[in-house]
């Protein structure tokens, strides 16, 4: 993974005189390529309501539209979650199987702020980041005493413990922190000391602007929805993405890749790998906490299932599917999985019958019977197969797939994009 | 008083007494070779010097300060660098990045959280690393993946990385093991050049007598975990005890 090296632009023809080009200090402190990537991400998030709604509202294909607020919010929130996870897993190679714990802690913290202070989301999001960071410090301090599979198992154990705590232990009548099975939510008798129902909306808001508020733009047969919650989450995601680029290109980022590459050498170079991995763990825990806080800000209900191991596994899938160690990969992976979860799962038997209605009767039933297990409730099956295909043929994830396609269309057939090295490296490592 | 003082060091692994009663003094500014047949305890001794193993008895001190109980990275920060038998470099990183890491370690210590400013805008580190690469004659390889280089080049890079930290003591564990003759000779030349160009002390563990007699100014012979003799290379060459230990023949033969 030598993302940086390609920018040390010294032609090999003149090795004696290192004529470096401008280094660093570009726009927003990013190199031109990184800045281009950031601009692409900004454009994608800003224009998402259009891009994700390619089909007219009344058409048969409308069910493949993903441009509705609830799903778009999930895209960017889980994008944040995956960007953070990638800082730990993609750079240091430490595979945490318990990251959902931080997501859950963030969610609970945010709802508690709603209950105590009021419905403005900013205190909740702030507290979510702080508490999950502290929680990550504790879990990381203990789990990072081991590496490899033992580290993964320790994090998994911690996350399952947190789940059990949230689900039952911490929801007894004497001390009800999580409200157990029901999930933590805001009740009318909660203090909400800064909340004035007469002047502000009775739902999560930012300075009076409710998260659920949606503006619909109708253009011909298309409806495009612009949601406050989505744009707030997207704003946070862009910030997170920018900070992740800075981190990837910083000395700290290089040290994290060095941890993955050779801890022995790092030790004997006078560097202590432990604080580096712990810092990465805490940073990625804070990203997860922010994601959790935003989930609660969009829908003020925090349940323990958010901490379950399946949720931890999901972010691992997102990161690997998109391309671990690349910048944009985790965001793509998160979008991909959330799209499947929400769109493929909605296809039911009658939809299939309608699609294949053009076939002769017997054949239609056979085709529907074959396809049916892969859609609707079986969307996990399709996702599993896709995941296998990606891991086997594209170990660098979707980013590597994108590069392969780009290479085909390029004349010189020489791949050289921002993300190439990381994805190639990943492939070489498999 | 040498730069490194080893006193009465002993180390036992289960039923095996790997080292017993080792006394060793490495004089500042010399090349000190530690030789001995397989299983003599050379590597165990080296591991005791860098903090990978803790000796059961005795003391090890560097420039008058004890190294015992310190972690490898702390010992490194005291001024001891180590080159491994198989080159240990950051294979996933570029040659340039490999060189920047020790430069950062030298300047910023064992840990520093610089997660925001761009690495490549840090002129001091970039210049220093490039300077070191030129010193090592590797400037043309700066963008290569370190893992893709030949073994000789990896060794050269590893030594360069150690030197970037300006250590006062450089420990080499069989630096030419598994190398072709040409690479071995290159490494010998490199080490000679290093020795002549800076005030550094070198301790070298080596099997290859060609390397030992090309470089060493003082030789300690280990056998069965204990020092057999120590002397200048000329004296060691014809020493009957050494021949016996190495060739398994008694002196009368």
Q: Is position A194 within any domain?
A: yes
Q: Residue B250: is its pLDDT beyond 70?
A: no
Cα three-residue angle A127-A133-A138, rounded to 5 degrees: 130
| Tally of domains within chain A | 1
pLDDT average, residue stretch B183-191: 90
Q: Residue A21: is its pLDDT beyond 50?
A: no
Q: Residue A70: is its pLDDT beyond 80?
A: yes
Cα three-residue angle B22-B27-B31, rounded to 5 degrees: 95
Residue contact A268–B72, C-beta within 8 A: yes
pLDDT at A26: 72
A412/A35: higher pLDDT = A35
pLDDT average, residue stretch B120-140: 94
Of A24, A257, A272, the CB nearest to B121: A24
A238-243 LR contacts (CB < 8 Å, sep 24+)? A238/A38, A238/A41, A238/A42, A238/A45, A240/A80, A240/A83, A240/A84, A240/A287, A240/A290, A241/A38, A241/A41, A241/A79, A241/A83, A241/A327, A241/A331, A242/A28, A242/A38, A243/B116
Question: How does residue B252 score in pLDDT terms, banded at 50, 70 and 90?
Answer: very low
HSE, side-chain direction, 13 A CA sphere, residue A43: 6
Regarding the domain delimited by B4-89+165-247, which CATH topology (the fold level of the hierarchy) does it fall under? Rossmann fold (3.40.50)
Question: How does residue A18 score in pLDDT terms, banded at 50, 70 and 90?
Answer: very low
pLDDT at B253: 40
Mutate to test the interface with B, among A6, A267, A284 (most CBs of B within 10 A): A267
pLDDT average, residue stretch B170-194: 90
pLDDT at B234: 85
Three-class DSSP category at B180: coil
Task: Name the residue ranges covered by the structural domains of chain B.
Answer: 4-89+165-247
The residue in chain A having the minimum alpha-carbon distance to the alpha carbon of residue B88 is A265
**From residue A148, how far is each of A89, A151, A155, A312 by CA, in Å?**
11, 5, 11, 17
Q: Confirm or reject contact between A257 and chain B (CB < 8 A).
A: yes
| CA A107 – CA A92 distance, rounded (Å) | 26
* For the ranges A342-356, A402-416, B40-54, the one whose mean pLDDT is highest: B40-54
Q: Structural domain of residue A251, as residue ranges?
A: 67-306
A141/A19: higher pLDDT = A141
Q: Is position A387 within any domain?
A: no
Q: Is position A411 within any domain?
A: no
Share of chain A above pLDDT 90, in %: 66
Residue contact B142–A10, C-beta within 8 A: yes
Residue contact A253–B115, C-beta within 8 A: yes
pLDDT at A17: 40
Strand order in the sheet with B80-83: B80-83, B169-173, B201-205, B31-35, B218-223, B226-231
Residue contact B73–A258, C-beta within 8 A: no
Of A10, A253, A272, the CB nearest to B73: A272
Q: Is position A429 within any domain?
A: no
Q: What is the pLDDT of residues A147-165, one digit of tens each?
A: 999 999 999 999 999 999 9
| CA A69 – CA A214 distance, rounded (Å) | 8
| CA B209 – CA A246 distance, rounded (Å) | 50
Q: Residue A374: is its pLDDT beyond 90?
A: no
Q: Residue A77: is its pLDDT beyond 90?
A: yes
| CA B51 – CA B53 distance, rounded (Å) | 5
Q: What is the pLDDT of residues B103-119, one digit of tens each?
A: 999 999 999 999 999 99
Mean confidence (pLDDT) of chain B: 90
Q: Chain B closest CA to A83's CA: distance in Å?
A: 15
Q: Residue B54: is its pLDDT beyond 80?
A: yes
A108/A62: higher pLDDT = A108
pLDDT average, residue stretch A240-256: 96
Residues of chain B found within 8 Å of residue A247, distances taken between Cβ atoms? 115-116
pLDDT at A428: 54
Residues 13-52 in A contacting B (C-alpha not used; CB under 8 Å) = 15-16, 18, 20, 23-25, 29-31
Which residue in A368, A383, A425, A46 sits closest to A238, CA to CA? Answer: A46
Residue contact B115–A258, C-beta within 8 A: no
| CA B96 – CA B138 distance, rounded (Å) | 9
- φ, ψ of residue A401 in degrees (nearest 5): -60, -45
Which residue in A318, A68, A113, A362 sits closest to A212, CA to CA? Answer: A68
Q: Is position A319 within any domain?
A: no
| CA A161 – CA B203 distance, rounded (Å) | 51
Burial class of residue A182, CB neighbours in 10 A (0-12, 13-18, 19+): exposed
Of A238-247, A320-329, B37-46, minimum mean pLDDT range: B37-46
| CA A395 – CA A325 distance, rounded (Å) | 11
- Spatial CB neighbours of A28, under 8 Å, sequence gap ≥ 6: A35, A38, A242
**From residue A342, how far is each of A55, A64, A191, A376, B43 by CA, in Å?**
17, 10, 36, 9, 59
Q: Residue B92: is its pLDDT beyond 80?
A: yes
pLDDT average, residue stretch A248-252: 96
Could you give the ipTM of this predicted complex? Answer: 0.91
Q: Is position A132 within any domain?
A: yes
Q: What is the pLDDT of residues A335-345, one digit of tens each?
A: 999 998 898 88
**From residue A301, how far is each of A77, A187, B114, B149 by CA, in Å?**
15, 11, 37, 55
Of B7-11, B180-184, B216-220, minimum mean pLDDT range: B180-184
Q: Chain A closest CA to B85's CA: distance in Å?
A: 12
A354/A291: higher pLDDT = A291
Mutate to test the interface with B, among A29, A269, A430 (most CBs of B within 10 A): A269
Q: Is position A311 within any domain?
A: no
Task: Please tell me what DSSP assigns to residue A169.
Answer: I
Dump the DSSP string for A73-139.
HHHHHHHHHHHHHHIIIIII----S-THHHHHHHHHHHHHHHHHT-SBHHHHHHHHHHHHHHHHHHH
Q: Is position A264 within any domain?
A: yes
Residue contact B110–A24, C-beta within 8 A: no
pLDDT at A5: 41
Q: Confirm or reject contact between A284 and chain B (CB < 8 A).
A: no
Q: Residue A20: is its pLDDT beyond 60?
A: no
């Amino acid at each position: 993974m030598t993302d940086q090296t390609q920018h040390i632009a010294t032609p090999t023809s003149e090795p004696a005189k290192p004529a470096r080009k401008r280094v660093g200090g570009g726009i927003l402190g990013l190199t031109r390529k990184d800045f281009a990537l950031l601009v692409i991400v900004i454009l994608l998030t800003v224009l998402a309501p259009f891009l994700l709604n390619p089909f007219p509202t009344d058409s048969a294909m409308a069910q493949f539209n993903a441009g509705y607020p609830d799903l778009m919010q999930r895209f960017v929130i889980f994008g944040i979650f995956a960007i953070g996870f990638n800082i730990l897993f993609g750079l240091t190679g430490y595979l945490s199987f318990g990251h959902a714990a931080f997501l859950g802690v963030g969610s609970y913290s945010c709802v508690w702020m709603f209950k105590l202070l009021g419905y403005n989301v900013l205190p909740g999001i702030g507290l979510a980041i702080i508490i999950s960071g502290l929680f990550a410090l504790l879990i990381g301090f203990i789990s990072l005493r081991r590496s490899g599979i033992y580290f993964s198992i320790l994090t998994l154990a911690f996350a399952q413990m947190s789940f059990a705590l949230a689900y039952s232990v911490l929801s007894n009548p004497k001390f009800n922190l999580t409200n157990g099975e029901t999930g933590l939510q805001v009740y009318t008798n909660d203090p909400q000391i800064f909340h004035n129902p007469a002047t502000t909306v009775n739902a999560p808001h930012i300075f009076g602007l409710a998260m659920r508020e949606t503006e619909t733009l109708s253009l011909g047969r298309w409806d495009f929805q612009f949601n406050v919650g989505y744009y707030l989450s997207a704003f946070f995601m862009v910030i997170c993405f920018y900070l992740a680029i800075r981190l990837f290109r910083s000395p700290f980022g290089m040290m994290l890749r060095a941890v993955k590459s050779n801890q022995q050498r790092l030790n004997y170079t006078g560097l202590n790998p432990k604080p580096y991995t712990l810092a990465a763990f805490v940073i990625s825990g804070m990203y997860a906490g922010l994601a959790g806080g935003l989930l609660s800000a969009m829908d003020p209900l925090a349940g323990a299932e958010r901490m379950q191991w399946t949720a931890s596994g999901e972010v691992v899938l997102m990161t690997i599917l998109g391309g671990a160690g690349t910048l944009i990969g985790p965001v793509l992976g998160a979008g991909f999985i959330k799209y499947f979860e929400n769109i493929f799962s909605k296809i039911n038997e009658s939809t299939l019958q309608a699609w294949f209605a053009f076939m002769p009767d017997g054949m239609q039933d056979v085709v529907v019977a074959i396809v049916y297990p892969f859609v609707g409730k079986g969307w996990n099956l399709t996702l599993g197969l896709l995941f296998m295909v990606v891991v086997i043929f594209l170990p660098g994830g979707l980013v590597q797939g994108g590069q392969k396609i780009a290479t085909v269309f390029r004349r010189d057939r020489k791949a050289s994009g921002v993300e190439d090295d990381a994805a190639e490296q990943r492939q070489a490592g498999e | 008083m040498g730069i490194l003082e080893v006193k009465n060091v002993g180390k036992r692994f289960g039923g095996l007494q790997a080292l017993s009663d080792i006394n060793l003094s490495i004089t500042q500014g010399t090349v000190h070779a530690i030789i001995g047949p397989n299983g003599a305890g050379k590597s165990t001794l080296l591991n005791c010097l860098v903090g990978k193993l803790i000796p059961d008895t005795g003391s090890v001190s560097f420039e008058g300060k004890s190294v015992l109980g310190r972690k490898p990275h702390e010992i490194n920060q005291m001024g001891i660098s180590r080159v491994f038998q198989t080159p240990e470099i950051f294979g996933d990183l570029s040659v340039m990045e490999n060189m920047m890491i020790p430069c950062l370690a030298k300047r910023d210590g064992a840990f520093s959280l610089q997660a925001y400013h761009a690495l490549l805008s840090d002129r001091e580190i970039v210049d220093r690393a490039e300077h070191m690469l030129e010193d090592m004659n590797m400037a043309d390889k700066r963008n290569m993946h370190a893992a893709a280089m030949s073994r000789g080049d990896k060794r050269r890079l590893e030594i360069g990385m150690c030197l970037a930290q300006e250590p006062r003591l450089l420990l080499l564990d069989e630096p030419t093991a598994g190398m072709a003759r040409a690479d071995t000779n290159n490494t010998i030349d490199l080490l000679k050049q290093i020795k002549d160009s800076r005030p550094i002390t070198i301790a070298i563990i080596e099997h290859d007598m060609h390397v030992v007699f090309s470089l060493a100014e003082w030789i300690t012979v280990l056998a069965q975990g204990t020092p057999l003799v120590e002397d200048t290379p000329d004296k060691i060459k014809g020493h009957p005890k050494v021949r016996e230990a190495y060739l398994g023949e008694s002196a009368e033969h």
